Structure 1
Amino acid sequence: MANHAVLDNISHKDIKIITQSGSAYGDNVSLSTAFISEFMQLQSWYPLFFRHNTEQNNFEPVVLLGVKPGQNLFLQHDSWQTGYIPLSMQRQPFLIGFQQQLHNGVPQQIPVVCIDLDHPRVSLTQGEAVFLPHGGNSPLLEHISSVLQHIQQGHQANQAFCAMLSELHLLQSLTLELSYQGAVHKLGGLYNIDRQQLSQLTAAQLQQLHQHGYLEAIYLLLASQANISKMLSMMQA
């Protein structure tokens, strides 16, 4: 059960964060949100797809880490076997919250750094300090603040990206069938770019995608799916 709190250097002055990787620290997930600003880094290591967010009734890009719940094939011996960790995994146990503050007499929702106090990475005895002894931000918190800023901007970019893909009917449901060791594993609930629909777009529609940087993102996502063979090798190992 999550226990979210707005981070401050008085209530949480002694908190430390365990930064090592491992299933005990929440890294054992099969899907995680991806942001189009990191597609270039992600596509070198992981397959990228989309999923439908039923709560918000929209689509979002995801990085595929395993083929069954609680499986991260890229995490071996408590270490990521890749050169890049998705932002949505780097942020743990921190998240973005919002507080209402007055700005020139007008109430506004201001983003603030929050922390899940019940997350297994949170400790009082081991790990890296969140705050310096005099109350300033530690290098760890500076890094996390940057990650959260990229995530906040990334959510907005993802929404615009997926909205245009939906408008152009470029998303299609997909069931992955992965064969290894004589068995076939099916993974549903994913969406992919409809290549046939993409090939039928008009020049004006392609130009629209290109102007927003979405055409590059589409081809990076499609190229990333060659990493499925890498996942199969990890499953066999």
Structure 2
Amino acid sequence: MAQHAVLDNISHKDIRIISQRGADFGDNVSLTTAFISEFMQLQSWYPLFFRHKSDNNSYEPVALLGLKPGQNLFLQPQGWQAGYVPLSMQRQPFLIGFQQQVENGVPQQVPVVCIDLDHPRVSQTQGEPVFLPDGGSSPLLQQATAVLQQIQHGHQQNQAFCQTLAELELLQSTTLELSYHGAVHKLTGLHSVATDKLNKLTAEQLQLLQHQGYLQALYLMQASTGNIAKLLSKMENQPG
């Protein structure tokens, strides 16, 4: 069970983070959140889709890492075999939290760096230190903080992106029929860009998408589906 705490250089001065990639360190997931700012890197390696979040009836972009729950086909004995690791995986075991602080007499929710103390990457003896001996941030923590800042901004971008697509009815439920190990398997629960509706948008609607940077994002998502063949190839090399 996760144990989230606001990171500080006194309580957590001896914490170290294991940077090795593997199933034992929380990397064995089949889907992970993707952010618009990283679509260019992601589409070279992973199929990109959307998933529906029933808790608030919204959507978010995701990168497909495996074809079964709890499966990451990019994990090999020598580590994560791709040229880019999604931000949502890079940030572990750190996450963004919020603390109430008073600024100019006005209470505000301020983002702070938190850590999941129960995450398998967290150690007292292995890995890279989070803090320097003098209490300063280590290079690892500096990098993690930069990733979290990208993610915080990315969540806002994703929300606006998906809301616009939903308003234009550009999201459609998708079932992938995939052939591997001598049988056809169906992968459900994903959503994709409704190409037919995209092609019927008015010039004004296309201009809106172009101005917001969403049109390029949509084309990158469409191009990324070519990576499904790579997943199938990896799947065929897995035990049946």
TM-score, scaled to structure 2: 0.98
Query: 1:5 is paired with a residue of what secondary structure?
Result: strand
Q: Aligned equivalents of 1:230 and 1:212: distance in 2?
A: 31
The residue that corresponds to 1:48 in the other structure is: 48
Distance 1:161 1:4, change over 3 A: same
Q: Which runs of 5+ in 2 are unaligned?
A: none
Deviation readout 1:139-158 (Å, 9 max, x if unpaired)? 00000000000000000000
Q: Aligned equivalents of 1:113 and 1:29: distance in 2?
A: 23
Query: 2:230 is paired with a residue of what secondary structure?
Result: helix
The residue that corresponds to 1:188 in the other structure is: 188
Deviation readout 1:48-79 (Å, 9 max, x if unpaired)? 00000111220000000011111000111151
The residue that corresponds to 2:214 in the other structure is: 214
Distance 1:91 1:184, change over 3 A: same
Q: Aligned equivalents of 2:153 and 2:233: distance in 1?
A: 34
1:23 and 1:78 in contact (8 A); partners too: no
Q: Aligned equivalents of 1:153 and 1:53: distance in 2?
A: 19
Alpha-carbon distance, 1:181 to partner: 2.2
- Which amino acid in the other structure matches residue 234 of structure 2? M
Query: 1:222 is paired with a residue of what secondary structure?
Result: helix
Query: 1:147 is paired with a residue of what secondary structure?
Result: helix
1:60 and 1:158 in contact (8 A); partners too: yes
TM-score, scaled to structure 1: 0.99
1:7 and 1:114 in contact (8 A); partners too: yes
The 5 Å alignment of 1:1-237 reads 1-237=1-237
Query: 2:62 is paired with a residue of what secondary structure?
Result: strand
Deviation readout 1:99-133 (Å, 9 max, x if unpaired)? 00001000000000000000000000010000000
CA RMSD of aligned residues (A): 0.6
Deviation readout 1:169-207 (Å, 9 max, x if unpaired)? 000000111101211111111000000000100000000
Q: Which moved more, 1:76-85 or 1:121-130?
A: 76-85
Percent identical: 71
Q: Aligned equivalents of 2:144 and 2:99: distance in 1?
A: 19
Q: Aligned equivalents of 1:18 and 1:100: distance in 2?
A: 31
Q: Aligned equivalents of 2:45 and 2:67: distance in 1?
A: 16
Alpha-carbon distance, 1:12 to partner: 0.1
Q: Aligned equivalents of 1:77 and 1:226: distance in 2?
A: 25
- Which amino acid in the other structure matches residue 195 of structure 2? R
- Which amino acid in the other structure matches residue 193 of structure 2? I
Q: Which runs of 5+ in 1 are unaligned?
A: none
Alpha-carbon distance, 1:224 to partner: 0.4
1:9 and 1:135 in contact (8 A); partners too: yes
- Which amino acid in the other structure matches residue 223 of structure 2? A
Query: 2:10 is paired with a residue of what secondary structure?
Result: coil
Q: Aligned equivalents of 1:135 and 1:186: distance in 2?
A: 51
Q: Aligned equivalents of 2:53 and 2:122: distance in 1?
A: 28
Q: Aligned equivalents of 2:128 and 2:55: distance in 1?
A: 35
Q: Aligned equivalents of 2:33 and 2:222: distance in 1?
A: 16
